């Protein structure tokens, strides 16, 4: 099992540098930096990380094919690959509808746009001159002026068609999920995509991009996950909520609590609205032994990399060290 760790660049560069170096020293194989317009620029932060780390693989988790051209994405990730001595990975997904609305981007034809962008980026980073007559992107002999070297492309996906696309075109898939049931359901679509491209599963990285919260004290760990889990519950599509048998009332109670929090600042109400069942479904939370147990279940469901996503634990530094000491070596 490979281990990754997610960071949101909503902190100063030196704080991010500190945490990523700590993760590298703790044995993590990958670090994924999220990409939303309102946070610090993902590539500026990756440049610092590329210079200050030695072994950890690094990349956006995930960028998107809307807010910059695939040519810029290829150039940016190629540059990170050069600076890091070949450790770059590109995580790319359809992007986030809510944040796009704020910057006037219409979220249309995500599948088509993802396919075209990934095909273009793959060719550019392989040093080819790209002629591409797509429905969305038209390239006429574009070519990078430097040799970025081959860069693995991981696609962020939840929906069935995007999962198939990820398996067909990508070197891996980043699935925002923490429960084995979600990977059992994803398997059929991943296998269909691999078959379409004539690829075998063992060369493909199926990543559980999970919300994680680890502490020696189980209750402390689980309580630290409540707010993040509330956002995941509120944003989950009906198919996922039904899959896990969550009642409409329970989900609406979370949505209502979040509204109250935004309007009246009542975050305590949000934590209370999140049930233990929701914590188990939408996060990997508890003691190191609890987390190892869940990772073993995920491995049986075909997961090959687990990413420790927010909140990581009640105390980020201690939790990163705890994962490094008591989970990764097991």
Ligand X SMILES: C[C@H](OP(=O)(O)OC[C@@H](O)[C@@H](O)[C@@H](O)Cn1c2nc(=O)[nH]c(=O)c-2cc2ccc(O)cc21)C(=O)N[C@@H](CCC(=O)N[C@@H](CCC(=O)O)C(=O)O)C(=O)O
- Name the site residues for ligand X (rule: CB under 6 A): 34-36, 61-62, 64, 93-96, 108-112, 156-162, 174-176, 209
Task: Give the residue with the Cβ less far from ligand X, 75 or 176.
Answer: 176
Q: Provide the minimum distance between the beta carbon of 36 and ligand X in the complex, in angstroms, as a whole number.
A: 5
Q: Provide the minimum distance between the beta carbon of 293 and ligand X in the complex, in angstroms, as a whole number.
A: 23
Measure the CA–CA gap between 31 and 174, rounded to whole angstroms. 13
Q: Provide the minimum distance between the beta carbon of 131 and ligand X in the complex, in angstroms, as a whole number.
A: 23
Task: Give the residue with the Cβ less far from ligand X, 2 or 112.
Answer: 112
Task: Give the residue with the Cβ less far from ligand X, 93 or 324.
Answer: 93
Task: Give the residue with the Cβ less far from ligand X, 182 or 215.
Answer: 182
Q: Provide the minimum distance between the beta carbon of 321 and ligand X in the complex, in angstroms, as a whole number.
A: 24
Q: Provide the minimum distance between the beta carbon of 243 and ligand X in the complex, in angstroms, as a whole number.
A: 14
Stated length of the chain: 330
Task: Give the residue with the Cβ less far from ligand X, 132 or 209.
Answer: 209
Task: Give the residue with the Cβ less far from ligand X, 28 or 142.
Answer: 28
Measure the CA–CA gap between 101 and 93, rounded to whole angstroms. 16
Q: Provide the minimum distance between the beta carbon of 270 and ligand X in the complex, in angstroms, as a whole number.
A: 21
């Amino acid at each position: 099992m490979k281990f990754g760790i997610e960071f949101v660049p909503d902190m100063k560069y030196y704080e991010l540098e500190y945490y990523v170096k700590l993760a590298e020293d703790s044995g993590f194989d990958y670090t994924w930096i999220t990409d939303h317009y309102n946070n610090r620029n993902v590539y500026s932060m990756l440049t610092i990380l590329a210079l200050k780390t030695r072994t950890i693989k690094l990349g956006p988790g995930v960028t998107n094919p809307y807010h910059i051209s695939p040519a810029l994405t290829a150039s940016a990730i190629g540059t990170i690959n050069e600076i890091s001595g070949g450790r770059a990975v590109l995580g790319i997904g359809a992007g986030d509808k809510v944040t796009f609305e704020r910057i006037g981007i219409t979220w249309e034809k995500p599948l088509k746009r993802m396919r075209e962008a990934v095909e273009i980026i793959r060719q550019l980073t392989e040093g080819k001159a790209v002629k591409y007559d797509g429905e969305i992107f038209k390239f006429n002999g574009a070519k990078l002026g430097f040799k970025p070297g081959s860069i693995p492309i991981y696609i962020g996906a939840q929906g069935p068609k995007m999962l198939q696309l990820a398996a067909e075109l990508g070197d891996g898939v980043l699935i925002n999920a923490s429960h084995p049931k979600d990977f059992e359901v994803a398997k059929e679509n991943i296998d269909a995509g691999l078959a379409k491209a004539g690829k075998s599963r063992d060369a493909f990285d199926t990543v559980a991009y999970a919300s994680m919260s680890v502490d020696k004290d189980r209750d402390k760990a689980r309580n630290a996950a409540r707010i993040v889990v509330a956002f995941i519950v509120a944003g989950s599509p009906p198919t996922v909520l039904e899959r896990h048998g969550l009642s409409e009332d329970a989900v609406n109670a979370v949505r209502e609590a979040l509204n109250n929090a935004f309007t009246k600042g009542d975050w305590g109400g949000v934590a209370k609205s999140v049930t233990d069942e929701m914590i188990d479904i939408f996060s990997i939370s508890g003691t190191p032994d609890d987390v190892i147990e869940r990772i073993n279940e995920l491995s049986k469901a075909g997961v090959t990399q687990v990413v420790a996503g927010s909140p990581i634990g009640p105390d980020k530094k201690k939790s990163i060290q705890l994962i490094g000491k008591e989970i990764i070596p097991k």
